[in-house]
């Protein structure tokens, strides 16, 4: 997939550009933060988008979301969504294995203690 944009907190995509919307939807499924989905009726759902079920017969694909407020999982039709906003911080942004290895090697070369424990996914004060 070519990335015309990178999913990050604050990015918002609507259906005015169908190709960008489909790409944003795919990115939202890989995003490790909350997204806010705006429905055709104007209502919004915020949470972690974790599954896209393939279309069945004449029915469009369905999406599954874990609401940010902890309420019951929501299943909705992809055709109900008119806008996707990457509203939550991607908790794993910048935390790739390559980044961890680079920091580990830098600490070792500097003579500092370099353990194998990972950093917290939460930023203090965030």
Mean predicted confidence (pLDDT) in 24-44:
92
Does residue 125 fall inside a structural domain? no
- Report yes or no on 126 lying in a domain: no
Q: What are phi and psi of 28, to 5 degrees?
A: -60, -30
Shared-domain flag, residues 57 and 81: yes
Average pLDDT, the chain: 82
Name the more confident of 91 and 57: 57
When divided into structural domains, the chain yields a total of 2
Residue 121 has pLDDT above 70, yes or no: no
Structure confidence by residue, pLDDT tens digits, 87-117 = 877 666 666 677 777 877 888 788 887 766 6
Same domain, 75 and 21: yes
**Is 65 in contact with 76 (CB distance < 8 Å)?**
yes
Q: How far apart are CA 12 and CA 117, in angstroms?
A: 35
Query: Residues 17, 76: one domain?
Result: yes
User: Based on the domain organization, do 21 and 44 belong to the same domain?
Assistant: yes
Contact (CB, 8 A) for 49 and 63: yes
One domain, residues 112 and 79: no
Q: Is 58 inside any structural domain? A: yes
Q: Tell me, what CATH number does 60's domain have?
A: 2.30.30.720
Average pLDDT for 23-41: 91
Claim to verify: residue 17 and residue 34 sit in the same structural domain: yes
Domain that holds residue 98: 92-118
Q: What is the 3-state secondary structure (H, E, C) of the chain?
A: CCCCCCCCCCCEEECCCHHHHHHHHHHHHHCCCCEEEEECCCCEEEEEEEEEECCECCECCEEEEEECCCCCCEEEEHHHEEEEECCCCCCCCCCCHHHHHHHHHHHHHCCCCCCCCCCCCCCCCC
Quick check: is 100 in a domain?
yes
Mean pLDDT of 25-45: 92
> Is 66 inside a domain boundary?
yes
Q: From CA 13, how far away is CA 97, in angstroms rounded?
A: 29
Asked, for residue 54, whether it belongs to a domain, the answer is: yes
State percent of the chain over pLDDT 70.
Answer: 78
Q: Are 25 and 77 in contact (CB under 8 A)?
A: no
Q: Say whether both 21 and 66 belong to one domain.
A: yes
């Amino acid at each position: 997939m070519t990335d015309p944009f990178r999913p990050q907190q604050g990015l918002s995509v609507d259906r005015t550009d169908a190709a960008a919307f489909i790409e944003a939807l795919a990115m939202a499924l890989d995003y490790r933060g909350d997204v806010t989905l705006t429905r055709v009726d104007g209502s919004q759902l915020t949470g972690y988008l974790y599954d896209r079920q393939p279309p069945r017969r004449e029915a469009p694909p369905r999406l599954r979301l874990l609401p940010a407020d902890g309420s019951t999982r929501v299943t909705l039709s992809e055709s109900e969504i008119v806008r996707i906003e990457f509203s939550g911080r991607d908790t794993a942004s910048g935390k790739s294995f390559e980044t961890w290895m680079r920091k580990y090697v830098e600490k070792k070369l500097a003579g500092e203690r370099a353990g194998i424990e990972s950093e917290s996914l939460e930023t203090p004060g965030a």
